[in-house]
Every structure is written in C-alpha cells, then in structure tokens.
A and B are shown apart, each in its own frame.
Chain A
Amino acid sequence: MRHFGKLATTAALPLWLWHSAAIAGEVTWWAPEFGADRAEELAAAFEEQNPDITVNIERVVPNGLQNRLLVALRSGNTPDLVDIANGWTAPFATTGGLMALDEAVAGLGVELDDFLPAALDTATVDGQLYALPFRAEAHAMIYNKGMFEAAGLDPDAFPETWEELRSAAEALTTGDTFGMGIAGGGEVSNTIFRSLPFLWMNGGGVLNEANDQSILAQPESVEAVEFYTGFLDDGLAPPSTLENDGNALRRLFIANKIAVYQSGQFDLRSIAEENPDIDIGTALLPHPEGKERSAILGGWNFAVPDAARNKEDALKLLAFLAEPENMGFYTDTFPARQSAMSMERFQDPQLEPFRDMLQYARRQPPLENWVQITQVYFDSIQEILLGQAEAAEILDEASQQIDGLIQK
C-alpha cells in the first residue's frame, strides 16, 4: 500500500507540474509563426512594464490552427490569448469557448471608435464582442506595368470598370501571356476572396442580407460569376486556372505568364524579390458601370478563451497589444485601428490601393456552416470553369443546395 501511494504520487507529478505551469503571473499566447518574432519583441516590452507577469509565447503553425484551437476549446486546455483569423471568430463564438470582451474592453479603456467598423463586425456576434481585431486587409489589383506598355495601354491608368478590365485583358493576352489570372482551384478560400467581391459589387452574392436565403441564382449573381469565369472561357486566363490558387497566381505573375491578378499586399515583397525586373503596379478592383466596388475583409483578431487560466493578465496583455503603435508594429498587413494607419510603414504609395480597398471591405457572413456553403459555391465555380453546363443552371442547383444547408 505504501508502495502504491508513492507510485500514485509519482504518476500524478507530471500532471501537477503541467497544471502549475499556468498559474497566476504567466500568460500563454499562441502566436502564428508569421508574426511570432514580433510577438516575442512585444512580449519583452510588456514584461518590462509588468515585471510580475511572464508571457509564454507558443509559436503555432497557421495551417491547421483552426482545428487545433477547436480541439483546445472543446477540451478546455486552452491558451490565455490566441490570434484567430477573423473568419473563424463567429463560428468559434457561436459554438462557445470564447470570452465576451465588452466589459473587459470598456474597463481597460480600449477605444473601439478607433477600429475599422468592418473589422469589429467580424468579431461581433449577437451584439457582443468576442475578439479584438488587430489586423485588417483587403485585396487589390496587382499588375505588370511593362506588359501594359507593351500592349499599348497606359501603365498608370488601370481599368476602372469591368468593361475596361475585359478589354485590357484582351489587349494583354498574347500567345504566351494571359491578360488576367483568376483563382479556380487549390485553397477554396482563395477563390472565394477573389470571386465573391464581384458578386457583391453587382448587387448579388451567395446569401441575402439576412443570411437566411441563397441569392446565387439571381441574375446579378449569375452575371458576376459569368464575368469572373468568362476570363477563362474566352482564353484571357491561363488554361491552368482550375488548379490556380493565390500562390499559383503569384508564381504565374512572377514568371511573366499573367499580366493582372488580385491579391493582398503580402505578395508584393516576394514578387519584388523573385523577379525584380517586373515594374509592379497596384490599383483598386474595377467595378460594374455605375456601381460601387467591394472586397472581403481579411484579417486577424485576438481572442481570450473562456477556459483561459489567467484571464486577468491575458486582458492586460490584450490592452497592451491593442495600443496603436503596438498593433501597427505587430500586424503583417494593416492595423485594425485607424490611428495606427498613420505609421511610417503604411505610407508606401504601392500600398495605397490596398488601404483604399479597406473602406469597401465587408466581412464574410457569420454563419456556422459558412465553410460548407463556400465549398458548394466553390464546386459550382469549378463546374462552370469546366464549361460542361450553363452557369445559370449550375448556380440554380448550388443555390438550392445552399438553402438546404441554411435551414439545418
């Protein structure tokens, strides 16, 4: 019996150690790899201001993070602070597991008025705030100025409307190079981010305003989808379109295979590094004649799980990270606070269209099964790109499928 007691103590020791690793005074922060170096710097600065708090940064791989966090939230063994993509916020908040931040944020004196409204939208479910946005971005057009000149187009006047974009793409398509690169394969979300704004601009979309019915079969949506997929149909986009996602498009642009495509500002640096000969132009997304532009708001939010062991200090760290200069330092793209936008690093003229697109950007519908709905939408885009049936027919069927998913 005495032996058993000893054995049990020894066996329980690791458990106890593991548990005690998260006592008061320590905050565990899951920071995605791409920003983890800057997170370390910020944590050091925070620790200096708060000598009694230690920040443990756990570098996490963004690929698969959503799953990992889902498991963590279900099991209750969570970090105290975590970076989440803004599209995951609503589903996580709906299924439970995220702390409502309204009171805490008010108590800490974070000025929500300073945040981009659309970014706050991504973190709000049923009027309650479940995360604090820190990074915001929207796609703009990236184009090859040299090819514009060679095609006899003005490299400083990027097309303003859909029609102008079409005719520019026609002029830019020459045997080996294609006027426009559209996404139609690989990562599903890449195609959503690039095609859905066209539907929105035209007054269409996947779902109506109330998010309770699909409007994919309506003429505005069909017209926009046909505009998007038409680039491939008419030979203005490369034949590899069905396997091209964001990465592939960037590679095609670097290889001088496409003249124009949509992406976020993060592509600019790797293009400049890998093919310095390209004179890169950036511009706003073209819109239908007489209608407004649109874009999907991408970005990341900070969240505190309900099961966090040290919420008090996590919130302190959150308030520190939400300070404009810290947020401006941490973000990969743009900060979610407008006052941080005046920082030096966001003043590059090449970034201007990306910044201007933010005012047209909207969040994705905050539905729990949005990912499944986007899969149906993505499949129908692929089906149309395959060209084996009429777009209207395919979208009508997809629309019915989506209605079925919403009612569940």
Chain B
Amino acid sequence: MRIQSRFVGPLFVFPALFVLALLVFYPLVYTVLLSVEDPMGNFVGFENFRTVLDQRLTGTTLRNTFVYVGFSIVFQIILGTAVGILLNAEFWGRSALRAMIVVPWVIPGIVAATTWAWMFHTEFGIINYMAQGAGLIDAPVGWLTNPDTVMPALVVVNVWKMFPFVAIMVLAGLQAIPKDVYEAARIDGARLHHEIFYVTLPQLRPVLASLTLLLAIWGLNAITIIYAMTRGGPANRSIILPMQIFRQAFEFFQFNEAAALSVMFLLITGVLMVLYITVFAEKE
C-alpha cells in the first residue's frame, strides 16, 4: 500500500502536466515544422526563410520593431520610476493619486488604442483641436499619417499604457528599502538628489532589471496598439514584427512564411534575453 501511494501523487499530477506540456510544446514544435514545409506539407528546408528575408519589408519591420520597443522601454522606465518615487512620498491625497495612476494599465488595450486613434485623428481629433485652439499649430497635423510623427505617437501611447505598471513595481521596490539606509546617508550629509542617485536607484536595480526584461518581452509581442491605430501604415512606416506575422498568416493565409518569421522572431528575442540575463546575472 505504501509503495503504491508514492506513485499516486505523480499519477494525479500527470494529466495536468501532460496537458501543460502539450499546450506549450505542441504549438512551438508545430510552428517550427510549418516553417520548413510548403503549404502541401513537403519539406523545403530554408526556402520560407529565404522568401521572407528577400522581402524588403522585413528589414523595415525589424528596424521599426527595435525603434518602437527601445524607445518605449526607455520612457516607460524613466517615467514609471519618477512617478513611483513621487508616489512613495507622503502627501495629502496620495492614495487617490495612486489609484488614478493605474487606470491606463487597467483599461483594455484595444479600447485605449481606439480612443487614442480618435484623439490623434487629423480631422476629428481632440489633440489637433486643442493645439489649434491654443495656437500651437496652424494646420491640422496628421499625427498617424505623417512618417515623422507616427512612430513617436505610437511610442507615446505605449508609454502611457505601461508606465503605471512600472510605477507600481517601483513603489513596491521602494517600500522594501530599509529606512536606516536613508538615515545613514543623511547623517553623512546627503541631499535629496544624492539620496535618489546613490541610495534609491542602486537599491531598485534588481526591480528595474526585471522590469526592463518584462517590458521588452511584452513590447516585442504586443500588436494591439499598432493594429488598432495604424495597421502598420502609412506605407509600412509603423509596421512591427508581430503585425507582419499576423498579416502573413491571417490576411494572406501563408502560414508557412508566417511560421518562418515567427521562428526568426523567436531566435532574435531568445538571443536578446540570454544576453540580457547573462549581463544582468554577472553584475549581481
């Protein structure tokens, strides 16, 4: 009886593990398989990869992806940390402000993106309306249709959407810093900016590092904002990799080429993550 009971536990867990493994590995393996097959299921080697790399669009896409994700992360971290530090200070109405700051993060992405698209609209958008009313611009600006403004506009929305998450995590990190560290610093004659740069930020480094990683993963996978606001336009000025994969698979129905793109994408992000984790781990 006793021996039997040793196997009962794993036996009960097995179905769940099996399903989990299936859910994780099946799509992954299937994607890799698709990427080296033609639509009829014949093995074609790296043909799909060559087709995809031959498209001039792929270069543009990669560049856009790095610009979009890179700038987003920088501003998300800066703004998020600043707001986190601010919210850690004691002042009247702090709880209300803390609650309000989370709103962008809580709103469903598609709702937020659609609302922003309307706010940015050349003709009906409130941004042009207000800027014109205040005399900042003479003619309406095509925020989402001008090649010079479309990426910055999308980065703004992405930063707006995610900085509250950074702020909350930073806030949590700040509360874990013991008070006596600050007291020691003050006794040594530290001013506020000394405190921030020599006490707060170094203590926050692990939090910020994991945040950067998370933001990079999310940013690289996010399609909602760009899909809802520009669909990659005008003339592919704002297309990013997930959007191109989506188009290839679900608009052109070329699942094999989409799979090839996905595998490439997975490799790129994989390399980035490994690099990042090793660098980060070394510093620790």
Contact = CB atoms under 8 A, between A and B. Distances in A.
Contacts of B231: 186
Contacts of B235: 379-380, 382-383, 386
Nearest to A385: B234
A228 to B, nearest CB: 15
B11 to A, nearest CB: 14
Contacts of B124: 251, 255
A240 interface: yes
B236 A379 contact: yes
A186 to B, nearest CB: 8
Interface string A85-121: 0000001000100000000000000000000000000
Interface string B104-126: 00000000000000000111100
Contact of A375 (B139, B144, B250, B252): B252
A369 B123 CA distance: 34
A369 B147 contact: no
Contacts of B139: 239
Contact of A239 (B122, B233, B247, B253): B122
Interface in A367-395: 369, 371-372, 375, 379-380, 382-383, 385-386, 388
A257 B123 contact: yes
A278 interface: no
Interface in A208-254: 238-243, 251-252
Interface residues of B, number: 22
Nearest to A381: B235
A299 interface: no
Nearest to B122: A240
Contacts of B142: 239-240, 242-243
B180 interface: no
A95 B39 CA distance: 10
A91 B234 CA distance: 27
Q: Give 8 nearest A-B pairs by CB, closest first.
A: A242-B145, A240-B122, A382-B235, A383-B235, A372-B252, A240-B123, A382-B234, A242-B234
Interface of A: 67, 70, 91, 95, 185-186, 238-243, 251-252, 255, 257, 369, 371-372, 375, 379-380, 382-383, 385-386, 388, 408
Interface of B: 51, 121-124, 139-140, 142, 144-145, 147, 231, 233-236, 247, 250-254
